[in-house]
Each structure stands twice: as structure tokens, then as C-alpha cells.
Homo-oligomer: A and B are copies of this chain.
Amino acid sequence: VKPFVMFGHNHMFGDFLDLVHANGGRLRTVVQNVPEPVHPGRKTLHERLQFVLDPCSPERRPYEIAVQSIDSFVPHPGDQYLIGFTGHKMSPLTAMLRSNFSIVCEPLIHPTAYVSPTVCPGVIIDARAIVSSGVILGEHVIVHKGVIIGHDTVAEDYAVIRPGARIAGHVRIGYGAVVGMGATVIEDLAVGAYCVVAAGAVVIRDVEENTMVAGVPAVRKKLEQN
């Protein structure tokens, strides 16, 4: 059982825990690098940990996961690392982990994904994603559940492809861009750096960097939160 350390807070905690276990690992520690954001009506990480059952325990005991601050973090030989959130906002954390601790996150690919790409450090590919031949995924790109990426497409560092999105062949997704849940990007297009493609949007033209697009076909919207 490979021990895993997750940096971050509880965003997508359930998905990432599943990825760790599906890869024969075990989440031993969560290292919080920033104060945890508050979502009214959602459990905090500490509250959630009390409800997570140990999948390796027949008696279904609680899963013992240590939580510590980044200030007291010391790397441990043999540990695997992953970042508990996604997108370009993690880049200061990944840079710090690399420079201060020589930590590079291994790719984490769900065994049910169907993948033949070139993957860089920190790439995460979740359950049932299909990544076609000739695809290149940059550092810390996350490909969520059930995504389809066509042949020869490139996603640059920190791009996020949300669940069920479909990206055709020969597409370029820029640095830190986010393709929303169930969105569609047709072939030969470029989606610029830091763009946000809204959920369900159908992109049929290039998207300039730092732009949000939404709708069918996708048109430009004011980018509110970037």
C-alpha cells in the first residue's frame, strides 16, 4: 500500500480519495497550505474525515487521516504526493514544493481510464476518461470523469477539463484554461490561456485568452471570477 500525502483542502476530496485507492494507495496525511475556504452548508475537512470509513477495515472503522499545516511539513521517502485542488491557482504551491522539497507529483491515472497520451508530472486522469492517441497533457492538467479528448489535442499546464466534456482532435487548450462540465470543443480550435468555457457550451470558434464563453454556440461573456 503506497502512502499518499495530499496538499490542499477538501475540495473534491471524495474523488481524489477514490483515485488514491484505485491506484492501490492510502491517504495518510492532508497538508493544509492555506486556510480552508468556507462553503456554507458543506462540511469542513475535519467534519468530513469523521464520516470517511476505512475501506481496508472489515469493521468499517473511521479512516485515520492526519491533518497538518504546511509549516510543519517534512517529506518522507516513499510518499506519493498529490494536490487536492485544480487549476492554475495551484502553481505557486507546485513551484514551492519543487523548490523547497524537490517534490514532483507523479501522474495519477484511474485504472478505468482509457489513456494513451504523453503525460507530464502532476497530471490527474479520473475514472472512465478517454484520452486518444497523440494527445499531450501538460503539468498538473486534470481530466475529470468521463471526459473524451480526441487525437493529437494538446492541453497546456494547469488546464482543467471538467466531467463529461468532449474535446475533438487537433485542439489546443491553453495554460490554466477550464473547460466546463459537459462542454464540447470542435476540432482544430484553440482555447486561450486562462479561458473559461462554461458548462454545456459548444465552442465552434477559437477563444481568445482570458475570455469566458457560454451557450450553444458559445459566445463571449464577461469573465467574473478569474
Contact = CB atoms under 8 A, between A and B. Distances in A.
Interface of A: 12-15, 17-18, 39, 42, 112, 114, 116, 127-128, 130, 132-134, 145-146, 148, 150-152, 163-164, 166, 168-170, 180-182, 184, 186, 188, 198-202, 204, 214-217
Contacts of A130: 127-128, 145-146
A36 to B, nearest CB: 16
Contacts of A151: 12-15
A87 B110 CA distance: 33
Contacts of A166: 146, 163-164, 181-182
A21 to B, nearest CB: 9
Most buried by B among A13, A134, A169, A204: A134
A148 B164 contact: yes
A200 B202 contact: yes
Contact of A169 (B12, B133, B170): B12
Contacts of A170: 42
Contact of A132 (B145, B182, B186): B145
Chain A at the B interface: SS class: loop
Most buried by B among A13, A112, A145: A145
Contacts of A163: 148, 150, 166, 168
B216 A15 contact: no
A50 B16 CA distance: 38
A45 to B, nearest CB: 13
Given A14-B152, A181-B186, 10 more contacts: A14-B132, A14-B133, A14-B169, A15-B169, A112-B114, A148-B164, A184-B199, A199-B202, A201-B216, A216-B216
Given A150-B163, A199-B184, A18 B133 contact: yes
